């Protein structure tokens, strides 16, 4: 990837026709569950016009090379309104050129416009790459601690 | 968590050199910039060379140069060269650790703390520390400009 490529990246709101491209970029959901999962996500974040819900894609040469999803959530866990980023992906062939950072900056800007001043996410402790990425953007351990247990 | 002096000096030296990967600095220059012991730092530098994080440049104008990857080397990578971060319970020898459920539970808690410590230190790269330090300098400059 060269600088010319970087300059051609645009970040825009996702549209219904991005569904297949997003599914192909998703590394997390199991293959068989992807269509249902992503159809629900598109219903919630793309097909409904709501400034508190954001689904952005990064596009290069008319091709979707990344996406980021987030929303404003209020009073869950006693937290005042804050922005949550709960999904982010960049095509393996388009990494290391700042697409993730561009998408994160754009969604942060939109979340601020929606009235919040904190953005929050959650990452698997063993996912060093993603944790390092968010750290490099200035995120650090927040005020809330995630707790869990196995149910017998 | 308390870092030992060698880890701290190593972090200072590596971050100083990594802030400009073209520069070469002697032990004395680094020590004087940060007000630390040259003698102690010299030992630390030899370790860093041995581990391949810095390179010794010989001859006039020689010194040390950073030779790692600024965007991949984490704080933990440097610290682990000088100490382990596992918590230790100072349990008296005569206690039967295997049968003592309280000790087992306390060890499980210290393990949890260790895991969290590592998750922080192993995901902060030298590049991130340098970037955040610059950001801090910017904020301080802006504050001082508004108060003068």
Q: Dihedral of CA A131/A135/A136/A137: which sign?
A: positive
Q: Is A88 helix (H, G, I), strand (E, B) or coil?
A: strand
Choose, out of B117, B123, B125, B126, the residue to mutate when testing the contact with A (most A CBs < 10 Å): B123
Which range has the worst mean pLDDT, A44-48, A107-111, B51-55, B79-83?
Answer: A44-48
Q: Provide the token pair at B110.
A: 């210290």
Beta strands in B3-137 (DSSP E): 54-57, 63-66
- pLDDT at B97 > cutoff 90: no
> CB neighbours of A111 closer than 8 A, spacing ≥ 6?
A54, A70, A72, A83, A119
Closest CA to B81 of B37, B42, B47: B47
Choose, out of B128, B131, B138, the residue to mutate when testing the contact with A (most A CBs < 10 Å): B128
Q: How confident is the model at residue A7 (pLDDT cuts 50, 70, 90)?
A: low
pLDDT of residue A102: 97
pLDDT of residue A6: 52
Question: How confident is the prediction for chain B on average, in pLDDT?
Answer: 90
The reply to whether residue B125 touches residue A141, judged by beta carbons under 8 angstroms, is no
Please state the domain extents for chain B: 5-147
- pLDDT tens digits along A64-74: 999 999 999 99
- pLDDT at A2 > cutoff 80: no
Question: How confident is the prediction for chain A on average, in pLDDT?
Answer: 90
What mean pLDDT do residues A113-130 have?
A: 94
pLDDT of residue A5: 54
* Domain spanning A3-136, CATH class: alpha beta
- B32 by Cβ neighbours in 10 Å (0-12 / 13-18 / 19+) ranks as exposed
- pLDDT at B106 > cutoff 60: yes
Residue A106 to residue A62: CA distance in whole angstroms: 19
pLDDT of residue B125: 97
What mean pLDDT do residues B109-129 have?
A: 94
- DSSP string across B95-107: S-TTT-HHHHHHH
Of B115, B119, B125, the CB nearest to A136: B125
Please state the domain extents for chain A: 3-136
Determine whether domain B5-147 maps to CATH 3.30.160.110: no
Q: Provide the token pair at B128.
A: 């991130």
- B126 by Cβ neighbours in 10 Å (0-12 / 13-18 / 19+) ranks as buried
SS3 content of chain B, % helix, strand, coil (to 5): 55, 5, 35
Angle at B33 between CA B29 and CA B39, to 5 degrees: 60
């Amino acid at each position: 990837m060269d600088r010319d490529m970087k300059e051609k990246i645009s970040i825009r709101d996702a549209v219904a026709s991005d569904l297949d491209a997003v599914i192909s970029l998703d590394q997390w959901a199991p293959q068989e569950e992807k269509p249902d999962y992503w159809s629900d996500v598109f219903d919630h974040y793309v097909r409904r016009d709501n400034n508190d819900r954001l689904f952005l894609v990064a596009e290069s040469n008319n091709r979707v090379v990344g996406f980021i999803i987030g929303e404003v959530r209020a009073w869950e866990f006693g937290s005042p309104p804050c922005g949550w980023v709960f999904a982010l992906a960049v095509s393996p062939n388009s990494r290391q050129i700042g697409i993730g950072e561009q998408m994160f900056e754009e969604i942060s800007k939109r979340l601020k416009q929606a009235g919040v001043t904190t953005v929050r996410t959650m990452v698997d402790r063993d996912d060093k790459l993603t944790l390092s990425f968010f750290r490099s953007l200035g995120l650090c351990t927040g005020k809330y601690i995630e707790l869990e247990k196995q149910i017998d | 968590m308390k870092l030992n002096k060698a880890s701290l000096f190593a972090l200072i030296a590596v971050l100083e050199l990594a802030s400009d990967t073209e520069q070469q600095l002697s032990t004395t220059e680094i020590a004087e910039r940060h007000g630390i012991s040259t003698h102690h730092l010299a030992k630390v530098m030899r370790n860093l060379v041995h581990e391949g994080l810095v390179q010794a440049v010989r001859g006039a104008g020689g010194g040390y140069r950073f030779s790692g990857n600024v965007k991949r080397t984490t704080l933990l990578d440097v610290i682990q060269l000088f100490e382990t971060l596992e918590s230790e319970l100072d349990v008296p020898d005569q206690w039967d650790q295997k049968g003592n459920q309280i000790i087992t539970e306390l060890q499980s808690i210290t393990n949890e703390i260790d895991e969290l410590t590592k998750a922080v230190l192993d995901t902060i790269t030298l590049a991130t520390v340098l970037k955040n330090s610059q950001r801090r300098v910017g904020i301080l400059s802006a504050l001082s400009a508004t108060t003068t």
